[in-house]
Amino acid sequence: MILDETNHIFKEKTDICIIKIKDHMEKRGVDVLKDKRISKSTAFTAEEKEQMGLRGLLPYAISSQDKQKQRVIENIRRKESGIEKYIFLSALQDRNERLFYKTVMDYLPELLPVIYTPTVGEVCQQFSHIYRIDKGFYITPEDKGDISALLDNWPEEDVRVIVVTDGSRILGLGDLGCNGMGIPIGKLSLYTAGGGIRPEYCLPVMLDMGTDNENLLEEIMYLGYPHKRLKGAEYDELIDEFIMSVQEKFPKALIQFEDFLTPNAYKILHRYQDKVLCFNDDIQGTAAVALGGVYSALRITQQSFVDQKIMFLGAGSAATGIADLMVKALVQEGLKEEEALQKLWFVDINGLIVKSTVGLMSHNLPYAHDHEAMGFVDAIKDIKPTILIGASGAKGVFTAEVVELMSSINKRPVIFALSNPTSNSECTAEQAYTWSKGQAVFASGSPFAPVHYDGQVFIPGQGNNVYIFPGIGLAAISVEAKTLPESVFLVAAAELARQIHQSDLDHGTVYPKLTNLRTISFEIAVAVANHLYDLNLAKLEKPRNLRTHIKNMMYDPSY
């Protein structure tokens, strides 16, 4: 049977409207202004002021949301530092949620670096010092056995997306413990702004297992669990209790794992990905956005994906996640798995990863080829990669020698410096274009300004996971997905590449404009949702018009 989505959508929207009307009727005066979900501040009309007991509590003039938005952006631009801008926006989110999201959506290229990378790195480092209002949920080892009951304390009953971290590997900054909560908060604001997922559906979670960062343990202002990190069976048991408690309390929720230390990231993903609705953004989201960028880059170089030889600098969860997805993509294009693996090479801090390399983790083993050991530069000379991808977290390791060498091997070398934040990037956009004499096809993890070189204007693309996870999340909740298989991320990568325009490629850009993020997320959601129906992984019966169904689920913060 095919679901008639018109009645389903009408009921959902009607229920939301009833809730809003009920809120308006029950609250009056300052209580209206203190409720971030219903407050419009100076946008309340004269009639609304009368009905809600707001006369005298607001200035006389009535501002449109557009005028309010202009006031917000003017104030943000007066702030001198990224963290000051972040604190200002966070305060706005706490008092007028719809204005916050409207401003972020309409100024996304300008504000994305504020609410996420690179500013979020500094936010996490300073989290215990700039803490203002509670925005997330915290679980510690002392809560073992009580997690299910604890989740009852969360004010929303219908949670659909959870971003969870244990703070053990925040961006390229390492173990930040409880301070890593800035990551789930930032990611979920992008689920709403970029993917249209209602903010009340979102739950940021910090699994505060302690920290091995001695500086934090000695810091008097630190807000986290002040003990060494939980490890081994006790760690696994707490993770398992959290996952099972979510299934009980929020059975429709997608769980996104974020910034876990590589061994735990893989262990958790492999344990749960076929059992519950979940994915790891560092492994799978990064992989999809990188693969999508490579597909676009090859439109510039006019080469086939199966003809590429790809070298990674860095062998952690991000890099191997990209490689794993690329293997599946190459197999999809007709190669045998053994042939696909031979096209992917890794270099870590000890040099080229080969069969004789000691101490490899399980996720590195498929890429340990029968080859002599050598350093990074010698590996480039010997293997002659067409694509170089940095996920090392090491600033400046793509030196002039490296870029010039890649340019001597390739007419148009593809160089992705994906490490975050900006301070950890393997090279800057200006360095890549200058050292390659304008021949590099460049992308980075953090944003870089356009580069003028030899009469050309290059606009470096930012390989930000925000291109992927909002659309996948929207698809998952729109069809009430059971699980997210690896093929979902191949579908998302291909759809992302389809969203790039020739005018962008002409400037060397391999990712579409962030101003189109809502449209990009929507198209990815439609493609992924259709794929989930094809795999019989959707609980919700398929609507007659899937595009309309998904479009009508997207949150609109306008008032």
86 catalytically annotated: no
Q: Are residues 319 and 453 in the same domain?
A: yes
Query: Would residue 75 count as lying in a domain?
Result: no
Q: Are residues 234 and 268 in the same domain?
A: yes
SS (HEC) of 460-475? CEECCHHHCHHHHHHH
pLDDT (tens digit, 9 = 90+) per residue, 311-334? Answer: 999 999 899 999 999 999 999 999
pLDDT (tens digit, 9 = 90+) per residue, 388-438? Answer: 999 998 999 999 999 999 999 999 999 999 998 888 899 999 999 999 999
* Structure-block tokens of residue 448: 């870089």
Which of the following is catalytic: 40, 69, 85, 187? 187
pLDDT at 19 over 60: no
pLDDT (tens digit, 9 = 90+) per residue, 212-261? Answer: 999 999 999 999 999 999 999 999 999 999 999 999 999 999 999 999 99
Q: Are residues 244 and 314 in the same domain?
A: no
131 catalytically annotated: no
Which of the following is catalytic: 116, 367, 467, 555? 116
Q: Are residues 204 and 163 in the same domain?
A: yes
Q: Are residues 146 and 190 in the same domain?
A: yes
Radius of gyration from C-alpha coordinates of the chain: 24
Query: Would residue 243 count as lying in a domain?
Result: yes
* Structure-block tokens of residue 433: 């274009």
Query: Would residue 296 count as lying in a domain?
Result: yes
Q: Are residues 378 and 431 in the same domain?
A: yes
Q: Are residues 259 and 301 in the same domain?
A: no
Query: Would residue 54 count as lying in a domain?
Result: no
Domain extent for 312: 284-466
H/E element, 68:
helix 65-78
CB 555 within 8 A of CB 196: yes
Cis before 155? omega within 30: no
Amino acid at 257: F
User: Last residue of a domain, which of 247, 276, 305?
Assistant: 276
Taking residue 57's Cβ as centre, other Cβ atoms within 10 Å add up to 13
Burial (Cβ within 10 Å: 0-12, 13-18, ≥19) of residue 457: exposed
Backbone phi, psi, residue 499, to 5°: -85, -5
Q: Lowest-confidence range among 16-30, 37-51, 373-387, 467-481?
A: 16-30
Query: Would residue 38 count as lying in a domain?
Result: no
Q: Are residues 373 and 254 in the same domain?
A: no
Say which residue the tokens 């604190």 belong to: 87
Is pTM, for the whole model, over 0.85? yes
User: Last residue of a domain, which of 276, 299, 333?
Assistant: 276
pLDDT (0 to 100) of residue 22: 52
pLDDT at 24 over 50: no
Q: Are residues 290 and 258 in the same domain?
A: no
Query: Would residue 521 count as lying in a domain?
Result: no
Q: Are residues 219 and 298 in the same domain?
A: no
User: Last residue of a domain, which of 416, 448, 466?
Assistant: 466
Looking up residue 358, the CATH number of its domain turns out to be 3.40.50.720
Residue 276: C-alpha distances to residues 27, 191, 204, 268, 366 (Å): 39, 20, 18, 11, 26
Q: Are residues 205 and 310 in the same domain?
A: no
Query: Would residue 102 count as lying in a domain?
Result: no
